[in-house]
Amino acid sequence: MSTSNRFHFLDSLRGFAVAGILLVNAADLMCLGHDVPVRPFQAVPLAENVLNFLVATRFVPIFSFMFGMSMGFVIDSAIRRGAPAWKILLRRLAALLVIGLLHSILYPGEILRDYAVAGAILLPFALKVPRSVRLVLGLLATVSAYAFTGGGALSLPGLFLLGSAAQAYGLPARLEHADRRIGAATLVFAAASAAAIPWQAAEGGDPRFFTAGGVAGGLMACLYVCLLALLWRTPVRRALSAVFEPLGRMALTCYVTASFVMVPAGVLLDSRSTQDVIPGLIVAAAVLPLQWVFCRLWLSRFAYGPLEWAWRCVTWWRWVPLQRQQSKRLDPVSYVPTTAGIA
Protein backbone atom coordinates (compact mmCIF):
# COMPACT_ATOMS: atom_id res chain seq x y z
CA MET A 1 0.00 0.00 0.00
CA SER A 2 1.45 3.29 -1.03
CA THR A 3 1.47 6.00 1.58
CA SER A 4 -0.03 8.30 -1.06
CA ASN A 5 -3.30 6.37 -0.68
CA ARG A 6 -3.56 7.05 3.02
CA PHE A 7 -5.67 9.66 4.72
CA HIS A 8 -2.79 11.24 6.60
CA PHE A 9 -5.09 13.38 8.72
CA LEU A 10 -6.80 10.25 10.07
CA ASP A 11 -3.40 8.77 10.94
CA SER A 12 -2.47 11.93 12.84
CA LEU A 13 -5.88 12.16 14.51
CA ARG A 14 -5.52 8.56 15.65
CA GLY A 15 -2.05 9.33 17.03
CA PHE A 16 -3.42 12.39 18.83
CA ALA A 17 -6.14 10.20 20.34
CA VAL A 18 -3.83 7.38 21.41
CA ALA A 19 -1.58 9.88 23.20
CA GLY A 20 -4.55 11.29 25.09
CA ILE A 21 -5.85 7.82 25.89
CA LEU A 22 -2.55 6.84 27.47
CA LEU A 23 -2.76 9.89 29.75
CA VAL A 24 -6.34 8.97 30.67
CA ASN A 25 -5.46 5.35 31.38
CA ALA A 26 -2.19 6.12 33.16
CA ALA A 27 -3.57 6.03 36.71
CA ASP A 28 -5.57 2.84 36.07
CA LEU A 29 -2.60 1.15 34.42
CA MET A 30 -0.34 2.08 37.32
CA CYS A 31 -2.92 0.64 39.71
CA LEU A 32 -3.13 -2.62 37.77
CA GLY A 33 -6.48 -1.91 36.17
CA HIS A 34 -8.31 -0.72 39.27
CA ASP A 35 -9.95 2.71 39.11
CA VAL A 36 -8.21 5.31 41.21
CA PRO A 37 -10.53 6.42 44.06
CA VAL A 38 -12.40 9.60 43.21
CA ARG A 39 -11.84 12.54 45.52
CA PRO A 40 -14.02 15.65 46.00
CA PHE A 41 -13.52 18.24 43.28
CA GLN A 42 -12.23 20.87 45.68
CA ALA A 43 -9.44 18.59 46.91
CA VAL A 44 -8.17 17.50 43.50
CA PRO A 45 -4.71 18.83 42.63
CA LEU A 46 -4.11 20.96 39.53
CA ALA A 47 -2.75 18.07 37.48
CA GLU A 48 -5.90 16.05 38.03
CA ASN A 49 -8.07 19.06 37.20
CA VAL A 50 -6.29 19.38 33.87
CA LEU A 51 -6.74 15.66 33.30
CA ASN A 52 -10.45 15.80 34.15
CA PHE A 53 -11.33 18.88 32.10
CA LEU A 54 -9.05 18.53 29.07
CA VAL A 55 -8.24 14.83 28.70
CA ALA A 56 -10.57 12.33 30.41
CA THR A 57 -13.61 11.32 28.29
CA ARG A 58 -12.28 13.51 25.44
CA PHE A 59 -10.37 10.91 23.44
CA VAL A 60 -12.29 7.64 23.71
CA PRO A 61 -15.18 9.04 21.60
CA ILE A 62 -12.69 9.93 18.85
CA PHE A 63 -11.35 6.41 18.74
CA SER A 64 -14.79 4.84 18.87
CA PHE A 65 -15.96 7.02 15.98
CA MET A 66 -12.84 6.12 13.99
CA PHE A 67 -13.40 2.43 14.66
CA GLY A 68 -16.76 2.78 12.93
CA MET A 69 -14.99 4.47 10.03
CA SER A 70 -12.51 1.61 9.81
CA MET A 71 -15.34 -0.90 9.43
CA GLY A 72 -16.49 1.04 6.39
CA PHE A 73 -13.00 1.09 4.91
CA VAL A 74 -12.65 -2.67 5.32
CA ILE A 75 -16.04 -3.26 3.70
CA ASP A 76 -15.11 -1.07 0.72
CA SER A 77 -11.77 -2.83 0.32
CA ALA A 78 -13.42 -6.26 0.49
CA ILE A 79 -15.95 -5.28 -2.18
CA ARG A 80 -13.18 -4.06 -4.49
CA ARG A 81 -11.40 -7.38 -4.05
CA GLY A 82 -14.57 -9.37 -4.63
CA ALA A 83 -14.25 -10.91 -1.17
CA PRO A 84 -17.09 -11.59 1.33
CA ALA A 85 -17.05 -8.51 3.55
CA TRP A 86 -18.95 -10.16 6.42
CA LYS A 87 -16.39 -12.97 6.69
CA ILE A 88 -13.44 -10.58 6.58
CA LEU A 89 -14.91 -8.24 9.19
CA LEU A 90 -15.93 -11.10 11.45
CA ARG A 91 -12.41 -12.51 11.29
CA ARG A 92 -11.00 -9.05 12.00
CA LEU A 93 -13.23 -8.61 15.04
CA ALA A 94 -12.46 -12.12 16.30
CA ALA A 95 -8.74 -11.35 16.12
CA LEU A 96 -9.31 -8.10 18.01
CA LEU A 97 -11.22 -10.01 20.68
CA VAL A 98 -8.30 -12.40 21.13
CA ILE A 99 -5.87 -9.48 21.42
CA GLY A 100 -8.17 -7.85 23.97
CA LEU A 101 -8.53 -11.01 26.04
CA LEU A 102 -4.76 -11.48 26.16
CA HIS A 103 -4.20 -7.82 26.97
CA SER A 104 -6.78 -7.96 29.78
CA ILE A 105 -4.51 -10.38 31.67
CA LEU A 106 -2.14 -7.45 32.14
CA TYR A 107 -4.66 -4.61 32.10
CA PRO A 108 -8.19 -5.63 33.18
CA GLY A 109 -9.55 -2.21 32.25
CA GLU A 110 -8.75 -2.53 28.55
CA ILE A 111 -11.59 -2.02 26.06
CA LEU A 112 -10.62 -3.93 22.91
CA ARG A 113 -12.95 -6.75 23.97
CA ASP A 114 -15.89 -4.35 24.09
CA TYR A 115 -15.00 -2.99 20.65
CA ALA A 116 -14.89 -6.50 19.19
CA VAL A 117 -18.22 -7.56 20.68
CA ALA A 118 -20.02 -4.31 19.81
CA GLY A 119 -18.57 -4.42 16.30
CA ALA A 120 -19.81 -7.99 15.77
CA ILE A 121 -23.31 -7.07 16.97
CA LEU A 122 -23.41 -4.10 14.59
CA LEU A 123 -21.93 -6.00 11.65
CA PRO A 124 -25.32 -6.49 9.89
CA PHE A 125 -26.01 -2.76 10.18
CA ALA A 126 -22.63 -1.85 8.69
CA LEU A 127 -23.14 -4.27 5.81
CA LYS A 128 -26.82 -3.97 4.94
CA VAL A 129 -28.35 -0.79 6.36
CA PRO A 130 -28.26 2.38 4.17
CA ARG A 131 -25.91 5.10 5.33
CA SER A 132 -28.77 7.52 6.02
CA VAL A 133 -30.40 5.04 8.39
CA ARG A 134 -27.07 4.32 10.08
CA LEU A 135 -26.61 8.05 10.57
CA VAL A 136 -30.02 8.48 12.21
CA LEU A 137 -29.68 5.37 14.36
CA GLY A 138 -26.16 6.40 15.36
CA LEU A 139 -27.30 9.86 16.40
CA LEU A 140 -30.21 8.48 18.42
CA ALA A 141 -28.09 5.83 20.13
CA THR A 142 -25.24 8.24 20.90
CA VAL A 143 -27.47 10.99 22.28
CA SER A 144 -29.37 8.44 24.39
CA ALA A 145 -26.18 6.91 25.78
CA TYR A 146 -24.77 10.29 26.78
CA ALA A 147 -28.07 11.55 28.17
CA PHE A 148 -28.62 8.56 30.44
CA THR A 149 -25.11 7.34 31.27
CA GLY A 150 -22.68 10.04 30.17
CA GLY A 151 -21.26 7.82 27.45
CA GLY A 152 -19.02 4.95 28.47
CA ALA A 153 -19.37 1.49 26.94
CA LEU A 154 -23.02 2.11 26.08
CA SER A 155 -21.95 4.86 23.66
CA LEU A 156 -19.94 2.45 21.50
CA PRO A 157 -22.79 1.20 19.26
CA GLY A 158 -23.94 4.72 18.43
CA LEU A 159 -20.44 6.01 17.78
CA PHE A 160 -19.64 2.98 15.62
CA LEU A 161 -22.74 3.61 13.52
CA LEU A 162 -21.94 7.31 13.24
CA GLY A 163 -18.38 6.54 12.14
CA SER A 164 -19.58 4.00 9.60
CA ALA A 165 -22.10 6.46 8.16
CA ALA A 166 -19.59 9.32 8.16
CA GLN A 167 -17.13 7.19 6.20
CA ALA A 168 -19.83 6.38 3.66
CA TYR A 169 -20.64 10.09 3.29
CA GLY A 170 -16.96 10.94 2.63
CA LEU A 171 -16.06 12.66 5.90
CA PRO A 172 -12.43 11.41 5.86
CA ALA A 173 -11.71 13.35 2.67
CA ARG A 174 -13.54 16.39 4.03
CA LEU A 175 -11.42 16.36 7.19
CA GLU A 176 -8.29 16.00 5.08
CA HIS A 177 -9.24 19.25 3.32
CA ALA A 178 -11.30 21.12 5.92
CA ASP A 179 -13.61 23.82 4.54
CA ARG A 180 -16.01 26.40 5.95
CA ARG A 181 -18.39 23.73 7.15
CA ILE A 182 -15.69 22.36 9.45
CA GLY A 183 -15.08 25.92 10.63
CA ALA A 184 -18.77 26.39 11.38
CA ALA A 185 -18.86 23.07 13.25
CA THR A 186 -15.87 24.22 15.29
CA LEU A 187 -17.79 27.29 16.47
CA VAL A 188 -20.83 25.19 17.38
CA PHE A 189 -18.84 22.65 19.38
CA ALA A 190 -16.80 25.39 21.05
CA ALA A 191 -19.97 27.08 22.28
CA ALA A 192 -21.48 23.78 23.41
CA SER A 193 -18.27 22.81 25.23
CA ALA A 194 -18.13 26.19 26.97
CA ALA A 195 -21.65 25.59 28.25
CA ALA A 196 -20.93 22.01 29.35
CA ILE A 197 -17.73 22.70 31.31
CA PRO A 198 -19.47 24.58 34.16
CA TRP A 199 -21.97 21.72 34.40
CA GLN A 200 -19.09 19.26 34.74
CA ALA A 201 -17.41 21.48 37.35
CA ALA A 202 -20.63 21.70 39.36
CA GLU A 203 -21.09 17.93 39.30
CA GLY A 204 -17.44 17.36 40.24
CA GLY A 205 -15.50 14.14 40.54
CA ASP A 206 -13.93 11.90 37.93
CA PRO A 207 -15.72 12.73 34.63
CA ARG A 208 -15.60 9.09 33.56
CA PHE A 209 -18.27 8.24 36.11
CA PHE A 210 -20.66 11.18 35.82
CA THR A 211 -23.09 12.27 33.12
CA ALA A 212 -21.89 15.87 32.94
CA GLY A 213 -18.27 14.83 32.52
CA GLY A 214 -19.20 12.40 29.77
CA VAL A 215 -21.31 14.95 27.88
CA ALA A 216 -18.61 17.62 28.16
CA GLY A 217 -16.05 15.09 27.02
CA GLY A 218 -18.08 14.08 23.97
CA LEU A 219 -18.57 17.69 22.91
CA MET A 220 -14.91 18.52 23.41
CA ALA A 221 -13.91 15.43 21.44
CA CYS A 222 -15.83 16.85 18.48
CA LEU A 223 -14.17 20.21 19.08
CA TYR A 224 -10.70 18.64 19.13
CA VAL A 225 -11.34 16.89 15.81
CA CYS A 226 -12.53 20.09 14.17
CA LEU A 227 -9.66 22.16 15.53
CA LEU A 228 -7.12 19.60 14.38
CA ALA A 229 -8.72 19.53 10.93
CA LEU A 230 -8.47 23.32 10.67
CA LEU A 231 -4.84 23.29 11.82
CA TRP A 232 -4.20 20.64 9.17
CA ARG A 233 -4.71 23.35 6.54
CA THR A 234 -1.99 25.57 8.02
CA PRO A 235 1.81 25.30 8.12
CA VAL A 236 1.36 23.56 11.49
CA ARG A 237 0.34 20.46 9.53
CA ARG A 238 3.94 19.37 9.09
CA ALA A 239 4.54 19.43 12.84
CA LEU A 240 1.26 17.66 13.60
CA SER A 241 2.08 14.96 11.08
CA ALA A 242 5.62 14.48 12.39
CA VAL A 243 4.45 14.17 16.00
CA PHE A 244 1.22 12.18 15.73
CA GLU A 245 1.21 10.25 12.45
CA PRO A 246 3.77 7.60 13.52
CA LEU A 247 1.77 6.93 16.71
CA GLY A 248 -1.44 6.76 14.70
CA ARG A 249 -0.12 4.26 12.17
CA MET A 250 0.90 1.99 15.05
CA ALA A 251 -1.96 2.79 17.44
CA LEU A 252 -2.76 -0.81 18.34
CA THR A 253 0.88 -1.60 19.03
CA CYS A 254 1.27 1.56 21.12
CA TYR A 255 -1.88 0.91 23.13
CA VAL A 256 -0.95 -2.66 24.04
CA THR A 257 2.78 -2.19 24.61
CA ALA A 258 2.23 0.79 26.93
CA SER A 259 0.78 -1.65 29.47
CA PHE A 260 4.06 -3.57 29.56
CA VAL A 261 5.75 -0.43 30.89
CA MET A 262 2.99 1.22 32.93
CA VAL A 263 1.86 -1.82 34.91
CA PRO A 264 5.37 -2.83 36.14
CA ALA A 265 6.03 0.84 36.92
CA GLY A 266 2.91 0.87 39.07
CA VAL A 267 4.18 -2.15 41.00
CA LEU A 268 7.62 -0.63 41.54
CA LEU A 269 6.15 2.68 42.69
CA ASP A 270 3.47 1.00 44.82
CA SER A 271 0.78 3.07 43.10
CA ARG A 272 -2.10 1.27 44.78
CA SER A 273 -1.29 3.00 48.03
CA THR A 274 -1.72 6.52 46.65
CA GLN A 275 -4.43 8.56 44.95
CA ASP A 276 -1.91 10.86 43.29
CA VAL A 277 -2.09 10.88 39.47
CA ILE A 278 1.30 12.58 39.10
CA PRO A 279 3.42 9.36 39.00
CA GLY A 280 1.22 7.90 36.30
CA LEU A 281 1.34 11.05 34.22
CA ILE A 282 5.13 11.24 34.57
CA VAL A 283 5.56 7.65 33.42
CA ALA A 284 3.10 8.20 30.55
CA ALA A 285 4.98 11.34 29.54
CA ALA A 286 8.15 9.26 29.39
CA VAL A 287 6.51 6.38 27.50
CA LEU A 288 5.05 8.52 24.71
CA PRO A 289 8.34 9.89 23.32
CA LEU A 290 9.88 6.42 23.55
CA GLN A 291 6.96 5.01 21.58
CA TRP A 292 7.29 7.82 19.06
CA VAL A 293 10.97 7.05 18.48
CA PHE A 294 10.21 3.33 18.15
CA CYS A 295 7.37 4.02 15.69
CA ARG A 296 9.54 6.30 13.56
CA LEU A 297 12.34 3.74 13.40
CA TRP A 298 9.99 0.84 12.73
CA LEU A 299 8.04 2.62 10.00
CA SER A 300 11.25 3.65 8.27
CA ARG A 301 11.65 -0.03 7.37
CA PHE A 302 8.20 -1.58 7.61
CA ALA A 303 4.79 -0.75 6.16
CA TYR A 304 2.81 -1.64 9.29
CA GLY A 305 3.34 -1.86 13.03
CA PRO A 306 3.91 -5.40 14.36
CA LEU A 307 0.42 -5.89 15.82
CA GLU A 308 -1.17 -4.00 12.91
CA TRP A 309 0.58 -6.35 10.48
CA ALA A 310 -0.52 -9.48 12.35
CA TRP A 311 -4.07 -8.14 12.56
CA ARG A 312 -4.05 -7.41 8.83
CA CYS A 313 -2.79 -10.90 8.00
CA VAL A 314 -5.61 -12.48 9.99
CA THR A 315 -8.17 -10.06 8.54
CA TRP A 316 -7.36 -10.98 4.94
CA TRP A 317 -6.25 -14.52 5.83
CA ARG A 318 -3.03 -14.33 3.87
CA TRP A 319 0.56 -13.32 4.34
CA VAL A 320 0.82 -9.55 3.91
CA PRO A 321 4.29 -8.25 2.96
CA LEU A 322 5.78 -6.33 5.86
CA GLN A 323 8.82 -4.62 4.35
CA ARG A 324 8.00 -1.16 2.97
CA GLN A 325 9.26 -1.61 -0.60
CA GLN A 326 8.05 -5.19 -0.75
CA SER A 327 4.64 -4.13 0.54
CA LYS A 328 4.31 -1.41 -2.08
CA ARG A 329 5.25 -3.86 -4.84
CA LEU A 330 3.21 -6.90 -3.80
CA ASP A 331 0.29 -5.54 -1.78
CA PRO A 332 -1.04 -2.49 -3.66
CA VAL A 333 -4.42 -2.38 -1.87
CA SER A 334 -6.49 0.57 -0.88
CA TYR A 335 -6.18 2.24 2.46
CA VAL A 336 -7.63 0.35 5.40
CA PRO A 337 -7.02 2.26 8.67
CA THR A 338 -5.71 0.29 11.61
CA THR A 339 -8.03 1.89 14.11
CA ALA A 340 -7.79 -0.49 16.99
CA GLY A 341 -10.62 0.80 19.11
CA ILE A 342 -8.43 1.96 21.96
CA ALA A 343 -10.06 2.80 25.24
List, as one string, the DSSP characters of 274-322.
Answer: ---SHHHHHHHHHHHHHHHHHHHHHHTTBSS-HHHHHHHHHHHTSPPP-
pLDDT of residue 42: 47
**267-311: per-residue pLDDT in tens?**
888 777 766 677 888 899 999 999 999 999 999 999 999 999 999
Q: What mean pLDDT do residues 210-215 have?
A: 89
Asked whether residue 338 is assigned to any structural domain, the reply reads no
3-state secondary structure 237-272: HHHHHHHHHHHHHCHHHHHHHHHHHHHHHHHHCCHH
pLDDT of residue 271: 75
Lowest mean pLDDT: which of 41-55, 67-81, 241-255, 261-275?
41-55
How open is the CA angle 329-332-333, to the nearest 5 degrees?
160
Which is more confidently placed, 217 or 343?
A: 217
Asked whether residue 260 is assigned to any structural domain, the reply reads yes
pTM: 0.89
Asked whether residue 310 is assigned to any structural domain, the reply reads yes
Lowest mean pLDDT: which of 150-159, 164-173, 187-196?
150-159
Asked whether residue 68 is assigned to any structural domain, the reply reads yes
Q: 129-134 long-range contacts, Cβ below 8 Å, gap at least 24? A: 131/164, 131/165, 131/168, 131/169, 132/165, 134/161, 134/162, 134/164, 134/165, 134/168
Asked whether residue 342 is assigned to any structural domain, the reply reads no
> Is 12 within 8 Å of 47 (Cβ atoms)?
no
Rg (CA), the chain: 19
**17-48: per-residue pLDDT in tens?**
999 999 988 888 887 665 555 454 444 567 77
pLDDT of residue 5: 60
**98-140: per-residue pLDDT in tens?**
999 999 999 988 999 999 999 999 999 999 999 999 999 999 9
**pLDDT > 60? residue 225:** yes
Asked whether residue 336 is assigned to any structural domain, the reply reads no
pLDDT of residue 207: 73
How open is the CA angle 259-260-263, to the nearest 5 degrees?
65
Lowest mean pLDDT: which of 29-43, 197-211, 219-233, 238-252?
29-43
Name the phi and psi angles at 323, rounded to 5. Answer: -60, 145
Percent pLDDT > 70 in the chain is 87
Beta bridge partners of 302: 323
pLDDT of residue 285: 93
pLDDT of residue 11: 96
Which is more confidently placed, 53 or 329?
A: 53
pLDDT of residue 205: 66
Number of structural domains the chain divides into:
1
Average pLDDT score over the chain: 88
Domain that holds residue 318: 3-330
Distance CA 322, CA 342 (A): 23
Asked whether residue 341 is assigned to any structural domain, the reply reads no
Asked whether residue 343 is assigned to any structural domain, the reply reads no
Distance CA 223, CA 229 (A): 10
**69-95: per-residue pLDDT in tens?**
999 999 999 999 999 999 999 999 999
Count CB neighbours of 335 within 10 A. 17
**pLDDT > 50? residue 163:** yes
